[in-house]
Structure 1
Amino acid sequence: METAEVELNDSQSQIKNGEALSIFGKTNRHVTLKFEDVAYKINIEKSGVLSRCCGPCRSKANSEKMILKGVTGAVFPGEMLAMLGPSGSGKTTLLTALGGRLGGKLSGTITYNGKPFTNAMKRDTGFVTQDDILYPHLTVTETLVFTALLRLPNTISKEEKQGVARLVISQLGLTRCKDSIVGGKTVRGVSGGERKRVSIGQEILINPTLLFLDEPTSGLDSTTAQTIVSMLWELAENGKTVVMTIHQPSSRIFYMFHKVLLLSEGNLIYFGKGSEALDYFLSIGHAPSVTMNPADFLLDLANGISTGDTGEDRGSLKQTLVSAYKGNLTDKVEKEVKGINYQSIDSMNDKKIGPWTTNWWQQFTVLLKRGVKERRHEVFSIPKIIQVIVVALLAGLLWWQSSIAHLQDQTGLLFFYSGFWGFFPVFQAIFTFPQERAMLMKERSSGMYKLSSYFMATMAGDMPMELVLPTVFVTITYWMGGLRPTASNYFKTLFVLLFSVLSSQGLGLAIGAIVMKLKAATTLGSVIMLSFVLAGGYYVQHVPIFIAWIKYISLSHHTYKLLLCSQFSMDEMYPCGPNVTCAVADFPSIKHVGLDHKEISVMAMFAMLVGYRLIAYLALMRVGVTPSKK
């Protein structure tokens, strides 16, 4: 799909003209977000015997749970809406629905300037997740530059996109740490507040008119949280529409919210100005008994806890508050929502706007460069290098200068090649997509790139790096192990092993993409690879006919066969006794596998190399993406 032509918005025009751009500057684009009677329910599978049965009893064992129960409201340009509520109240679900990222059993109406969620709206929307989903080994600058190259349209040049990223770094106060790696759970990097600002920077560098944030102050100290919310308040004051969930803001932060939405078990119990929240609850008989943070007071009420001496239990109080909202505020809110006039609001023209801001080749090249920068730290980690070298040296010493006179030893070394470099790539590749799942869902939901460009960039970036260590391994063990000391035999053996590594890597990618849970994926990978090794033709020569078919799909079998062919020929002889020679092809460990029909093994491994990756791609198509964008 070709990138559609897009009209320059005000910020991009400034970039084109070389003028200074400020993410906190006034904008001529505005979005009014309206949501009416939004409800959402999920299926709950009950535990126990009934949940494991089939047919009619299984349908009875499952039930539906309402997460959102008819939520209505509106947010206007220049407003910052905070959605409060205890854990499990539905505030994150509502935010995800408003951000156009929630499928399933969602009902009600959500509009943006009176229109449904479109490509234009996606292009103009920022969404900051609660967890900072960032690549740990990229620097702050690299993170924002790569995001700018992918998210900003081709109507501005590469240099101008990089300039936008540098400007965002400056205006978010990240200049001091711009060359530091972001870090993560196992990698030390920038502070939590700086990491959060990087996440926000990824979204605001497109200068969105509508910005969603899920718990932007989670895990931060009060000062850092105040700084971030102040920045968001400034964005709202300059015409943007800001919507966030927040769990327990300080009183200083609470009074910065233009509007507050309070949820209790999916029900609205307050929607209106933040400054009027306490007065409303006072009017219905609920007031804090002591001076306290208004947000804490609201959360107590949402949990069914009243500071007054009402004698109501929690469930009754929640229902009382729901009824009070319906009796006192519902009409006011619905009147406000229905009375919105869109004639004075600018709306982006969606007719010429496609789902992608850049073309396939641009996406591929940027993702390839980013992937190599990030993945090289994992592929060439010190523990992994030491592991391969130590095993290579140990194998070389164990098979030290074996010769054709010790044919059993040489076939054992070749089968060790097929076994070790069958397991090793599989368990490296299994981790690729499960670890990338959160990032893939986040970036694909933002419409940053096509799945095909991501997949091909991952394949192209990983292949060369994954072939370095097996090349080192073969180079060490080949000459120490006394295999045929000719360049032709060496390169044949190396080619077969690298061919096997790529096929094994494809199997690992397919398993990881299908299962997406590391523990289950590694278990499945172990079972499959052990089955392949057992059927490889080295351990068992007389396999019962009813299970002999496994060898035809065994990667170990085809690799072992081709490795044997790289060292021996059909008419070759070896000393099998004093002054006695025998045909290599008749040696027990070789005869069962055979030195003929090697073309079949080559074709089988090529089919595995391509087929496993095709399976992985098809499995990835179901990971958090809209079908039309695949």
Structure 2
Amino acid sequence: MEAQMVDIEAQSKSVFKKVDRPVTLKFQEVVYKITIKKQGCLKNKIDSPIEKQILKGITGIVIPGEMLAMLGPSGCGKTTLLTALGGRLGGKLSGSITYNNKPFSSTINRSTGFVTQDDVLYPHLTVTETLVFTALLRLPNTLTTQQKTTLAEDIIEQLGLTRCKSSVIGGPRLRGVSGGERKRVSIGQEMLINPSLLFLDEPTSGLDSTTAQRIVSTLWELARGGRTVVMTIHQPSSRLFYMFHKVLLLSDGNPLFFGKGSEVMSYFDSIGFSPLVAMNPSDFLLDLGNGILPDDSNQEDQATIKQKLVSAYKSNLADNLKAETIASEEQVNDVLDRKNSERWTTTWFQQFTILLRRDLKERRHESFDKLRIGQVLIISFLCGLLWWKSDTSNIRDQSGLLFFYTAFWVLMPLFRAIFTFPQEREMLEKERSSGMYRLSSYFMSRAIGDLPMELVLPTCFCIITYWMAGFKPNAGSFLYALVAVLLTVLVAQGLGLALSSIVMDLKSTTVLGGVITMTFTLTGGYYVQHVPVFVSWIKYVSISFYTYKLLLGSQYEHGQTYRCGNQTCLVADFPAINNIGLDGQATSFVALIIMLVGYRVIAYIALMRIGVLKK
């Protein structure tokens, strides 16, 4: 334990320190296939799905201290191969991918950093908050909270992020740090665990040449510390190209070259492909990957040129490369196997509390949105004025307001909740793939994090409208109505979570949510008293039906009367109330509680079932 603490403290002094868990990455004859289903009105029903091969037998080896760059035209399979090497690709993947001659495991995963092309970061968190929360989630409990925070601050300093450490990350509608700084934050998140393997997808995409140089120089320093660095890159400048230890050139899933970056030009010259003038090697390689020759006078078909390059690779490089990977069965440090094999570095409760804190910080701008608060307050006072001091003589109006309670507080939380999971899909995939937290801890923190404003606003609504509208002037009746409304909010939120996790598409989920809420409203018992038998069952799954029954029970009771013209009538006989009934209050509470739990269970199962998250 003491030695481990000393090691961590030494690591915090420099992210470029030599890694203590070097990993040799080998991949042999990697093949990946996908199945494409025919679509369109002219498809033949008897036609079977088409199987397409994305990766076509790719072999290579990267040892500690080396930086491999994968180049090739768009759609050639670079990202697919990178994802496969990072242990994040399922499906029809064949061939051998080993790490220190062993298959991918949770132990390897904890020593692997993966930086996606798009920087998936929370826009409203600052640079410091982003890295500190990542440190708290990913670093083991052998470190204290203070030590984790200190390590995050050291990463900020050593990656040159001190100037912007208090700035928010930003997004499409929020000004934040620059593109280069965002990329360094993403790299910093992975460097927190001092990874032995570091995968990066297009780390220089969208950056100017100076910023790109700075990023690649940082990666070169990381590799020099004994890490194995693998990246995809589209069109690097010549000075970036010569920093790569090894280069892999792909074209339509086929390897055209694998070897030292310094030897790539001489190799293609030896097989009869050389540029007519001095040019950036990466530009020349991309031309070859597209089947374009530097000699414009040659009118060969692009497919023919590609086939020649593939054949040359198989004749000149494939056998030697295969022999090199087989001969590299050297003894490797087995420290990875001696590491604690526990899947999670933190406890469930730690994950829950950290995620809850992060969620509250990130979403406080939504929770305290002035427009939303103003919307609820304006509608509250408008309702209070429209139903000002109504009494049982205006029972139609009172029952109408109670049903408005129902409709409004089913609609509002449901449509907020359906945005939850589709908006966070990329973040979930990224963090769960890194083994940062359990699905259950995330789910609970996400559901509870929205509760403060989800419950505060309906409480304010009830306080304003209840007393202005002249409902029963006693605390018991008010609390009964308030509990009914708050329970409805929680149930509607659960339904929204279930829909968002099942559909995972904002447009489709919004349409489906609208249809369901309208169905609940129409069958809630206020608009239609004589519902046909064959659709009357819908009310038993309707949130509106049970909520309306509870709200009626909070204000009226058996034997209570009201003035109807020149006579006295029973409240229970009023059509909008008689159809619902004043009995079955306990049943309604139980039904809503079952829905509250059931919808959340459905949401949780759906997240696991659809494969967006790993269990």
Whether TM exceeds 0.5 here: the answer is yes
Match of 1:326 among 290, 314, 321: 314
Equivalent residues in 2 for 1:50-69, closer than 5 Å: 53=45, 57=46, 60-69=47-56
Q: In 2, Cα distance between the equivalents of 1:20 and 1:115?
A: 29
Q: Residue 3 of structure 1 corresponds to which residue in structure 2? A: none
Q: Residue 289 of structure 2 corresponds to which residue in structure 1? A: 302
Determine helix, strand or coil for the equivalent of 1:513: helix
Q: Deviations over 1:292-336 (max 9, x none)?
A: 211111011101111123321111111111011111111221121
1:450 pairs with 2:443: no
Moved more, 342-351 or 208-217: 342-351
Q: Residue 311 of structure 1 corresponds to which residue in structure 2? A: 299
Equivalent residues in 2 for 1:206-245, closer than 5 Å: 206-245=193-232
Identical counterparts, % of pairs? 63
Report if the CA contact (8 A) 2:203-2:231 is conserved.
yes
Report if the CA contact (8 A) 2:429-2:613 is conserved.
no
Determine helix, strand or coil for the equivalent of 1:131: coil
Match of 2:182 among 162, 173, 195: 195
Runs of 4+ in structure 1 deviating by more than 6 angstroms, as ranges, are 7-10
Moved more, 282-291 or 254-263: 282-291
1:357 pairs with 2:350: no
Determine helix, strand or coil for the equivalent of 1:127: strand
Q: Deviations over 1:53-98 (max 9, x none)?
A: 5xxx2xx241111000000000010000000111110000000000
Equivalent residues in 2 for 1:142-153, closer than 5 Å: 142-153=129-140
User: 1:428 and 1:149, CA in 2 relative to 1: closer, same or farther beyond 3 A?
Assistant: same
Q: Residue 392 of structure 1 corresponds to which residue in structure 2? A: 380
Determine helix, strand or coil for the equivalent of 2:534: coil
Q: Residue 98 of structure 1 corresponds to which residue in structure 2? A: 85
Q: Residue 246 of structure 2 corresponds to which residue in structure 1? A: 259
1:557 pairs with 2:545: yes
Q: Residue 42 of structure 1 corresponds to which residue in structure 2? A: 34
Determine helix, strand or coil for the equivalent of 2:13: coil
1:490 pairs with 2:490: no
Report if the CA contact (8 A) 1:533-1:556 is conserved.
yes
User: 1:237 and 1:612, CA in 2 relative to 1: closer, same or farther beyond 3 A?
Assistant: same
Q: In 1, Cα distance between the equivalents of 2:534 and 2:11?
A: 75
Determine helix, strand or coil for the equivalent of 1:519: helix
Report if the CA contact (8 A) 1:152-1:357 is conserved.
yes
TM-score, with structure 1 as normaliser: 0.95
Determine helix, strand or coil for the equivalent of 2:337: coil
Q: In 2, Cα distance between the equivalents of 1:344 and 1:419?
A: 65
User: 1:86 and 1:8, CA in 2 relative to 1: closer, same or farther beyond 3 A?
Assistant: farther
Report if the CA contact (8 A) 1:422-1:556 is conserved.
yes
1:515 pairs with 2:508: no
How far did residue 571 of structure 1 move?
A: 1.6
Q: Residue 125 of structure 1 corresponds to which residue in structure 2? A: 112
Q: Which runs of 5+ in 1 are unaligned?
A: 1-6
Give the number of aligned pairs: 614
Q: In 2, Cα distance between the equivalents of 1:342 and 1:469?
A: 65
Q: Residue 7 of structure 2 corresponds to which residue in structure 1? A: 14
Determine helix, strand or coil for the equivalent of 2:117: coil
Q: In 1, Cα distance between the equivalents of 2:335 and 2:320?
A: 26
Q: Residue 258 of structure 2 corresponds to which residue in structure 1? A: 271
User: 1:545 and 1:19, CA in 2 relative to 1: closer, same or farther beyond 3 A?
Assistant: closer
Report if the CA contact (8 A) 1:144-1:202 is conserved.
yes
Q: In 1, Cα distance between the equivalents of 2:300 and 2:407?
A: 68
Report if the CA contact (8 A) 1:51-1:61 is conserved.
no
TM-score, with structure 2 as normaliser: 0.97
How far did residue 487 of structure 1 move?
A: 2.0
Q: Residue 121 of structure 2 corresponds to which residue in structure 1? A: 134
Report if the CA contact (8 A) 2:106-2:343 is conserved.
yes
Amino acid at match of 2:364: R
Amino acid at match of 1:270: F
Determine helix, strand or coil for the equivalent of 1:107: strand
How far did residue 466 of structure 1 move?
A: 1.2
How far did residue 52 of structure 1 move?
A: 8.6
Q: In 1, Cα distance between the equivalents of 2:217 and 2:398?
A: 70
Report if the CA contact (8 A) 1:8-1:155 is conserved.
no
Q: In 2, Cα distance between the equivalents of 1:546 and 1:501?
A: 29
Amino acid at match of 1:581: T
Report if the CA contact (8 A) 1:434-1:517 is conserved.
yes
Amino acid at match of 1:331: D
Q: In 1, Cα distance between the equivalents of 2:252 and 2:337?
A: 38
Determine helix, strand or coil for the equivalent of 2:203: coil
Report if the CA contact (8 A) 1:445-1:625 is conserved.
no
Moved more, 283-292 or 338-347: 338-347
Q: Which runs of 5+ in 2 are unaligned?
A: none
Match of 1:284 among 271, 282, 305: 271
Q: In 1, Cα distance between the equivalents of 2:191 and 2:11?
A: 18
Q: Deviations over 1:515-570 (max 9, x none)?
A: 00011111111111111111000000001111100011000111111011111111
Report if the CA contact (8 A) 1:565-1:595 is conserved.
yes
Determine helix, strand or coil for the equivalent of 1:547: helix
C-alpha RMSD over aligned residues: 1.7
Report if the CA contact (8 A) 2:55-2:77 is conserved.
yes
How far did residue 283 of structure 1 move?
A: 1.2
Match of 1:426 among 414, 435, 438: 414
How far did residue 21 of structure 1 move?
A: 2.5
Q: Residue 21 of structure 2 corresponds to which residue in structure 1? A: 29
How far did residue 392 of structure 1 move?
A: 1.9
Equivalent residues in 2 for 1:334-353, closer than 5 Å: 334-349=322-337, 352-353=340-341
Moved more, 409-418 or 188-197: 188-197
Q: Residue 529 of structure 2 corresponds to which residue in structure 1? A: 541
Q: In 1, Cα distance between the equivalents of 2:298 and 2:44?
A: 45
Match of 2:358 among 366, 370, 375: 370
How far did residue 379 of structure 1 move?
A: 2.2
Q: In 1, Cα distance between the equivalents of 2:265 and 2:454?
A: 61
Q: Residue 4 of structure 1 corresponds to which residue in structure 2? A: none
Q: Deviations over 1:148-200 (max 9, x none)?
A: 01101111111111111011011011111111111112222111111111111
How far did residue 478 of structure 1 move?
A: 1.7
Q: Deviations over 1:364-405 (max 9, x none)?
A: 111111111112222221221122222222222222222211
Determine helix, strand or coil for the equivalent of 1:546: helix
Report if the CA contact (8 A) 1:120-1:350 is conserved.
no
User: 1:175 and 1:94, CA in 2 relative to 1: closer, same or farther beyond 3 A?
Assistant: same
